[in-house]
Structure 1
Amino acid sequence: MALKATIHKAQLQIADMDRNVYADHNVIIARHPSETDERMMIRLLAFALNVTADDNKGKLEFAKDLWDVDEPALWHKDYTEAVLHWIDVGQPDDKRLMRAAGKAEKVSVYGFASSTPVWWKNIQSKLTRAANLTVWQIDAAQSQALAKLSSRSMQLQVTVQDGTLWMSTGEESVEITPQRLTPGN
């Protein structure tokens, strides 16, 4: 018998001063049996950092990356099903990233292991044609602290200012400063 996903619900209150995005979002996350709290929370972090102010061009959604290799962790599709933004977490291989760069207008990766700089150094030369790719590193200690905020039902306040994100339950707070590994602005 196959194991089923565990459902997690999160109420996010987002105040992103860097992008002028202020909104509340109720999200449902289907957590794959093999997924850790840390990885799931990085997906939630990626949602908070990339959700748009409105749904005029479609909306950002959690995808089925651990179930379907042709899907990312999250994606923003427009109403014609064109992929505007492909978001992966972890350390995907260069072939997957090149396919994503060909399918989407924009590709982002959020690495969260301490080995992320080594992974990136080994594949970055293979991705020079992927001008629409941005790779971010979340410090391993910060992502592990973020994992401790995980629960089946979460109420989280997310504040983003000057490139730093604070995620809080009201009782506990985690500060995260993603580091951009790809060149650009």
Structure 2
Amino acid sequence: MALKATIYKAQLALADMDRGIYGDHNVTIARHPSEADERMMIRLLAYALNVPADDKKGHLEFAKDLWDVDEAALWHKDYTDQILHWIDVGQPDDKRLMRAAGRAERVSVYSFASSTPVWWKAIESKLTRAANLVVWQIDAAQSQALAKLAERSMQLQVSVQDGTVWMSTAADSVEITPRRLTAGD
């Protein structure tokens, strides 16, 4: 018998001063049985950092990457089903990233393991043609601290200023500073 996803709900109060985006977002996350809290919270962070200011060009939504290899962790599709932004988390291989770069206008990766520099060094030269790709490194200690905020029902305040993110609950707060590894556009 197949294991089912665990449903998490998050209320995000977003104040992104870098992009001028403010608002409340209620999201539902289907957590795959093999997914750890850390990865799920990185997906939630990626959502907060990439949610569009409005819905005029479609919605940013959680996809089913752990169930279907042809899907991203998150994607922003327009109303014609064109992929505007493909977002992966972890350390996808170069072939997956090149396929994503061909399918979407923009591709972002949020890598959070301590082995990120080794992974990136091994594939960086294979991705030079993917001008629409940006890779971000989240410090492993920061992502592990972020995982501790995970609950089945979450109320999170997310503040972004000068490239630094503060994700807070009523009881705790985590500072995250994503580091850009690529030049992309």
After TM superposition, the score normalised by the length of structure 2 is 0.99
Deviation at 1:183, TM superposition (A): 2.1
Unaligned runs of 5+ in 2: none
How many angstroms apart in 2 are the aligned matches of 1:140 and 1:100?
25
- Equivalent in the alignment of 1:93: 93
**Paired residues of 2:133 and 2:184 also in contact (CA < 8 A):** no
What is the DSSP-based 3-state SS (H/G/I as helix, E as strand, rest coil) of the residue aligned with 1:43?
Answer: helix
Structure 1 vs Structure 2: percent identity of aligned residues?
A: 83
What is the DSSP-based 3-state SS (H/G/I as helix, E as strand, rest coil) of the residue aligned with 1:42?
Answer: helix
- Equivalent in the alignment of 2:114: 114
How many angstroms apart in 1 are the aligned matches of 2:32 and 2:147?
15
How many angstroms apart in 1 are the aligned matches of 2:98 and 2:184?
18
How many angstroms apart in 1 are the aligned matches of 2:99 and 2:184?
21
How many angstroms apart in 1 are the aligned matches of 2:106 and 2:15?
23
Instruction: For residues 106-161 of structure 1, give each alpha carbon's deviation from its aligned partner in whole angstroms, at most 9, with x where no partner exists.
Output: 00000000000110000000000000000000000000000000000000000000
Deviation at 1:60, TM superposition (A): 0.2
Deviation at 1:98, TM superposition (A): 0.2
What is the DSSP-based 3-state SS (H/G/I as helix, E as strand, rest coil) of the residue aligned with 1:35?
Answer: coil
Instruction: For residues 38-60 of structure 1, give each alpha carbon's deviation from its aligned partner in whole angstroms, at most 9, with x where no partner exists.
Output: 00000000000000110000010
**Could you tell me which amino acid in structure 2 is paired with residue 83 of structure 1?**
I
Please list, as runs of the form range in 1=range in 2, the aligned pairs for 1:1-185 lying within 5 A after superposition. 1-183=1-183
How many angstroms apart in 1 are the aligned matches of 2:121 and 2:82?
31
How many angstroms apart in 2 are the aligned matches of 1:127 and 1:53?
29
How many angstroms apart in 1 are the aligned matches of 2:124 and 2:132?
13
How many angstroms apart in 1 are the aligned matches of 2:183 and 2:173?
30
**Could you tell me which amino acid in structure 2 is paired with residue 80 of structure 1?**
T
**Paired residues of 2:131 and 2:184 also in contact (CA < 8 A):** no
- Alignment: residue pair count: 185
After TM superposition, the score normalised by the length of structure 1 is 0.99
Q: Which runs of 4+ in 1 moved over 4 A?
A: none
What is the DSSP-based 3-state SS (H/G/I as helix, E as strand, rest coil) of the residue aligned with 1:76?
Answer: strand
**Could you tell me which amino acid in structure 2 is paired with residue 90 of structure 1?**
G
How many angstroms apart in 1 are the aligned matches of 2:70 and 2:184?
27
What is the DSSP-based 3-state SS (H/G/I as helix, E as strand, rest coil) of the residue aligned with 1:124?
Answer: helix
**Could you tell me which amino acid in structure 1 is paired with residue 131 of structure 2?**
A
Instruction: For residues 16-37 of structure 1, give each alpha carbon's deviation from its aligned partner in whole angstroms, at most 9, with x where no partner exists.
Output: 0000000100000000000000
What is the DSSP-based 3-state SS (H/G/I as helix, E as strand, rest coil) of the residue aligned with 1:11?
Answer: strand
**Could you tell me which amino acid in structure 2 is paired with residue 95 of structure 1?**
K
**Could you tell me which amino acid in structure 2 is paired with residue 118 of structure 1?**
V
Taking a change above 3 Å as real, the CA distance of residues 33 and 145 of structure 1, as seen in their structure-2 partners, is same
